[in-house]
Amino acid sequence: MRTLIKNAVVVLPDATCAVDVLIDGTRIADIDPAIQLAVDEVVDASGLHMIPGVIDDHVHFREPGLVHKEDLLSASRACAKGGVTTFLEMPNTQPATTSIRRLHEKLALAARKSVVNYGFYVGATTNNLDTLQLATRTPGIKIFLGSSTGDLFVENQDVLERIFAETGLPICGHCEDETTIQRNATHFGDTQNVADHSRIRDHEAALVATRRAIDLACRHKHRFHVLHVSTAAEVELFDAARPFVTAEVCPHHLFFTTGDYARLGTLVQVNPSIKNRSDTIGLWKALTNGLIQVVATDHAPHTLDEKNRPYPQSPSGIPSIENALALMLNAIHVGRWSLEQVVDWMCHAPARVWDIQAKGQIAIGYDADLVLVDLERSAEVQNADQFTKCGWSPWHGVTLTGWPVRTWVLGHEVFHDGRICAERCGQEVPFDHARGGFWANG
Per residue in 294-349, pLDDT tens?
Answer: 999 999 999 999 999 999 999 999 999 999 999 999 999 999 999 999 999 999 99
Asked if residues 170 and 433 have their Cβ atoms less than 8 Å apart, the reply is: yes
Q: Average pLDDT in the 207-235 region?
A: 98
Q: Does residue 430 have a cis peptide bond before it, meaning omega lies within 30 degrees of 0?
A: no
d(CA 431, CA 138): 7
Catalytic site includes residue 40: no
pLDDT category of residue 148 using cuts at 50, 70 and 90 = low
User: What pLDDT does residue 152 have?
Assistant: 82
Per residue in 236-249, pLDDT tens?
Answer: 999 999 999 999 99
Taking Cα atoms as reference points, which of 365, 189, 182, 176 lies closest to residue 272?
176
What SS3 state is found at 47? coil
d(CA 298, CA 197): 18
Predicted TM-score of the model (pTM):
0.97
User: What pLDDT does residue 145 have?
Assistant: 85
Cα dihedral 177/180/181/182 (nearest 10): 120
Residue from 177, 202, 279, 298 carrying the catalytic annotation: 298
The chain-wide mean pLDDT, for the chain, equals: 96
Could you list the beta-strand ranges (E) of 233-283. 245-249
Asked if residues 356 and 55 have their Cβ atoms less than 8 Å apart, the reply is: yes
User: What pLDDT does residue 139 have?
Assistant: 98
User: What pLDDT does residue 320 have?
Assistant: 98
What is the DSSP code (8-state) at residue 228? S
Residue 428 main-chain phi, psi, to 5 deg: -60, 135
What SS3 state is found at 205? helix
Q: Average pLDDT in the 401-426 region?
A: 96
- Determine the length of the chain: 442
User: What pLDDT does residue 150 have?
Assistant: 58
Where do the structural domains in the chain lie, given as residue ranges? 53-361
Q: Average pLDDT in the 354-383 region?
A: 98
d(CA 62, CA 90): 9
pLDDT category of residue 34 using cuts at 50, 70 and 90 = confident
Q: Which residues pair with 119 in a beta bridge?
A: 88
Cα dihedral 274/244/160/354 (nearest 10): 70
User: What pLDDT does residue 6 have?
Assistant: 95
d(CA 438, CA 126): 28
User: How are beta strands 49-52 and 9-11 bridged, if at all?
Assistant: parallel
Write the class of the CATH domain 53-361: alpha beta
